Amino acid sequence: MRFASSDPARLAVPYVAGTIRCVKRLPPFIGAMALLAIPAALLGAGAPPAPRAAAWVVADGATGEILAQRNIDTPRPMASTTKMMTALVAMDSGALDRVVTVSPAAVAVGESSAGLKAGERIQLRHLLRALLVGSGNDAAVAIAYGVAGSESAFVDLMNQKAKEMGLTNTHFVNPHGLDATGHYASARDLLAIGEAVMKQPFLRGIVGNRSISVPGPGGPRRLTSEHDLLSVLRAADGVKTGHTNGAGYVEVAHATDPVTGVGLFAVVMGNASRAERAADAKGLLTWGFSNYAKPTVLAKGTAVVRVPVQGAPGVEVPLVASLPVSATVRVGKPIRVRISAPSQLVAPVAAGARTGTVEVLQDNAVVARRPLMVGAAVASPGWMDGIRSGFEGIGSVFT
C-alpha cells in the first residue's frame, strides 16, 4: 500500500541533493514528484561546436536522442563506413567459423588492403577483423563471396537490410565503399548502422582496436586502422572511418564516458582531412558528454519520509536511503523523485529493515532506484501504548 497523507511533517525537509538544486520541496504525499533541475550553466553545457564537416550529428546511444546535427538527412558518399553494413550482413549469416577461400576478385579490388592472397583460406571471423580494423577492400569482397556467392548477391542483401532498418537515404552498390554512382548514405542512416554494430558483442569487441592481428599463409598479419580518434580520445571505443575523393573524410564514432557511463555516437561526413575528421568527432563527443552529469541525488542515510507506527501512538520513524542514490541525467532537464512507502509500520520495528523505494525519473524513465530502510528502532508496545492505541481507535469511530 502506498502512503498518502496531507501532513507535511511526515516528509523530511529541506530536501538537498548535492549538485542537484532543489526547486520544490517534496510534496506531502507519496506518488507525487519533486521537481528538481540541474543548472546547465553550473555544469558547463553550452552551444555545440561548429564542425567543419559537411554533415554531422551527435546522439545519445541509449535513447537515440539527437543532441545536435547539421544536414543529417542529406545523402552523401560514405566511403569505408560502408563496411559497417558489410559486417552486419556477414553477422546475419551466423557462421563466424566458416572458412572462406579468397577469390581473385577480392585481391584485385585494390586500394585499402588487408593483404589477402588469392586462394588463401581464412575464417569469416578473421575477415571481419581485417574489414573493420584494416579496412580491407579485399576482405569486403572476400566476405561477399563467402556469404552470398557473389558481390552482387551480397549487395542485394545489404540493401535489403537497409530497408529492414528503415534507412531511407541509403543505397549500396558495393561492399567496400569505393566511389560509385548510387552508393550513398545520410548521417542519420550511418548513425543507425553504427548503433547496430555496437549492439553486436563480437563486432563491438573489434571496432575499439587501433591495431589487430589476423592469421595469414606466412604468419600473423598486423593491421592498423586510420581511426585516429581511438588515440586522441580515451573514451572512444568505435566505430569506423573512411575516405575517398568523392566522400572526403568520413567517420562514425562512439565513446563511453567512464564516469557517467553515457555512450554517445558522432557522425561526420565530408571533412577535408584526416586530422580535421578526428578533431570534429572529438569536439562533438566532448561537448555531448558535457550535457550529462551523474549527481548524488540522495546521500546514504538521508531521511525522505516519516511513517507512523501502529502500537506506538504519536511515534513516526524516518525512512532513509539505504545506499547513495546517484543517477546519470541530462543537464538542464528536470528530474523527479518518486517515493513509495507503506502507510504505516507495526511495532516492533527494527532499525535497518528495508521497506519502500525511492526512484529518480527523467523524461518519465526511471534512471535510478534504491530501497528505503527504517532509520530508527521502535520497541514492542507496552500495556499503556495498547490502551492509548485503543482509545485512539475508539475516537476515530466518532470522528
Catalytic residue among 5, 6, 24, 83: 83
Helix residue ranges per DSSP H, the chain: 40-43, 82-92, 104-108, 124-132, 137-148, 151-164, 187-198, 201-207, 229-232, 274-289, 383-397
Cα gap 272→187, rounded to integer Å = 16
- The single residue of 5, 93, 103, 135 carrying the catalytic annotation is 135
| Cβ atoms < 10 Å from Cβ of 127 | 29
Contact 251, 81 (CB under 8 A): yes
Catalytic residue among 80, 186, 225, 326: 80
The yes-or-no answer on residue 83 being catalytic is yes
CA dihedral 349, 350, 354, 360 (to 10 degrees): 80
For the stretch 250-266, what's the b/e string if a residue is b when 16 or more beta carbons lie within 10 angstroms of its beta carbon? Answer: bbbbbbbbeeeebbbbb
240 tagged catalytic: no
Q: Give the pairing type, strands 354-362 and 335-340.
A: antiparallel
Phi, psi dihedrals of residue 124, rounded to the nearest 5°: -60, -35
Catalytic residue list contains 135: yes
Cell of 239: 566505430
Taking the C-alpha atoms of residue 169 and residue 73, their distance in angstroms, rounded to an integer, is 7
Active site residues: 80, 83, 135
